[in-house]
Chain A
Amino acid sequence: AQSVTQLDSHVSVSEGTPVLLRCNYSSSYSPSLFWYVQHPNKGLQLLLKYTSAATLVKGINGFEAEFKKSETSFHLTKPSAHMSDAAEYFCVFRNFGNEKLTFGTGTRLTIIP
C-alpha cells in the first residue's frame, strides 16, 4: 500500500535545540509529500511541500525537509525550537494524478522551556 509512516508519536525537545520529526513513505511512483501542522483548536496549516523539484524544501517558520529517495524518507527539521512550535505535525502523501491526501498518524511536538 502506498502511504506514509511517522516514526514517533511524541517528540520532546528543549527550547532552542534542534527539532527532527521523522517520516518514511511507501510508493511505487514519485510522490508528492507535505508536512502540515495543527495547533489546538485551529485548522491544518501547510508547512512545506515536495513535488519532485528540489529535494531540500524550505517551509515557513524556519522548517525544512529533505526528500531522500534512497531512504524513502522525508524528515522535518528545524535548527532551533521555539515555544510556539508546540503542536501536532502530520506527514502527508499524495500519489501522482490523485487529489486525495493520505495523512500519517501524527507526531506531537512538545517544547520544554
Chain B
Amino acid sequence: DTGVSQNPRHKITKRGQNVTFRCDPISEHNRLYWYRQTLGQGPEFLTYFQNEAQLEKSRLLSDRFSAERPKGSFSTLEIQRTEQGDSAMYLCASGATGGISSYGYTFGSGTRLTVV
C-alpha cells in the first residue's frame, strides 16, 4: 500500500492552456474523490467515482472541468482554457465500499496548480 499518488506535484500554466492531473488511488479502493483547496480555505468537493461511474458532481465543476476514471483504477482531472481563478491545490482521495463512515478517506498530497 503506497497510498494515494498524485501527479504532477506542481503545475504552472499560462491562462487559456489545458492541464490534466492524474490520481492513482490505493489499489483495493473502489471509490475516488476530487477536491479543490484554495489558499486559506478548507477543501471543497468536486466529484466522486465508484469504480468507473461518476456518481456526483459539484456545481463547482464547470463545463471546463472533466474527470474520468476509465477502468475504475486511476483517474484524471482535466481543466480546459484555464483561468487565474483555477489556481488551487487539487486533492484526490480514495476509499473502500462502506464509505467514509467505515474506513475514512485516504488523501493524496495534491497537485498545486498556478495559472499565470
| Interface residues in chain A, defined as those with a beta carbon under 8 Å from any beta carbon in chain B | 32, 34, 36, 41-46, 49, 51, 90, 92, 94, 99-106
Contact = CB atoms under 8 A, between A and B. Distances in A.
Interface residues of B, number: 27
B105 A46 contact: yes
Nearest to A32: B101
A104 B42 contact: yes
Contact of A103 (B43, B56, B108): B43
Interface of B: 3-4, 31, 33, 35, 40-45, 48, 55-56, 58, 91, 93, 99-101, 104-110
Q: Is the interface of B mostly helix, strand, loop or mixed?
A: mixed
B107 A103 contact: no
A49 B44 CA distance: 19
A43 B91 CA distance: 8
Nearest to B9: A41
A41 B105 contact: no
Given A99-B48, A100-B56, A46 B42 contact: no
A46 to B, nearest CB: 4
Q: Which of A34, A41, A44 has the most CB of B within 10 A?
A: A44
Contact of A101 (B41, B105, B109): B105
B108 A101 contact: no
A45 B41 CA distance: 16
Given A32-B100, A44-B91, A51-B101, A103 B44 contact: yes
Nearest to A104: B42
Contact of A44 (B41, B101, B107): B107
A27 to B, nearest CB: 15
A82 to B, nearest CB: 22
18 contacts: A41-B109, A43-B4, A43-B106, A44-B105, A44-B107, A49-B101, A49-B104, A94-B100, A99-B55, A99-B99, A100-B45, A100-B56, A101-B43, A102-B45, A103-B43, A103-B44, A105-B42, A106-B41
